[in-house]
Amino acid sequence: MKLSPWRLLEPVVEYLVPALCVHCKVRRRIDEYLCAECLRDGFPVGERGFCPMDLVFCLHVLNPVVRSLIHALKYKSMQGVAAYLVRQANPLGWQVWQDACWIPVPIHPARLRERGYNQADYIARALRAQAGGRVFAGVLKRARYRSSQTHLESDARRWNAAGCFTARAPVPQEVVLVDDVFTTGSTTGACEAALLRVGVELVHVVTLAFEPKKDGVRDFMLDSQTWGM
């Protein structure tokens, strides 16, 4: 088979313009997104996921490397990061989520038009590919546009998210909400309330990352090491 001239030039282009790490933007990648050093820093050996609340499971702590990857997923159209972060996780056993009903947290239609996609959809599909089950897209709707949660404190986040979501029946009795980052639980709590109103009995939450409160990072990490969370 005859190769095109462009295919023959690919090794030269890769050598002259190497793909740089998404996080440090200095060193060359050794996989799809990270260099060797950032890969080691982002996913410490033995890390097994985090449970900041009952029925909530987060695949990673939001360290600087994971933060850069999620930023690339949300704002730089790197949708493949969702599957990458799911594959990098080492949870207590994917069999726990076998045949789960995955429900992505929606974004407002205005933000969807601006961004072109909902990152939670890609996360839900990646989880389904790893553990099985079904993705129930469109069950939740964002009823009103709200400001970004990123820089809000706990109480402000709850007020900002309250009443944002509606759900439509029929919905399975047990579901798993999927989002990118869990901080205070305000967004997933508002989604849960909407789902309970239409007959859901049990709502789990799975997110790519957990962001501890600023004043509790050290205590949380110590507890995680002590209790093996």
Handedness of CA 181, 93, 37, 74 (dihedral sign): negative
CATH of the domain at 74: 3.40.50
Q: Beta strands 140-142 and 165-167: pairing type?
A: antiparallel
The model carries a pTM of: 0.79
Let me know whether 161 and 175 are in one domain.
yes
> Tens digit of pLDDT for each residue in 94-130?
778 888 999 999 998 888 999 999 999 999 999 999 9
Q: Verify that 18 and 54 share a domain, yes or no.
A: no
Do residue 114 and residue 213 come from a single domain?
yes
CA 214 to chain centre: 20
In a shared domain, residues 177 and 119: yes
pLDDT tens by residue, 25-51: 999 999 999 999 999 999 998 777 888
Rounded-to-10 torsion of CA 43, 46, 49, 54 = -150
State which residues form the domain around 147: 43-227
Q: Are strands 134-135 and 140-142 parallel, antiparallel or unpaired?
A: unpaired
Question: Number of folded domains in the chain?
Answer: 2
What tokens were used for 201? 């009995």
Number of other CB atoms surrounding residue 29 within 10 Å:
17
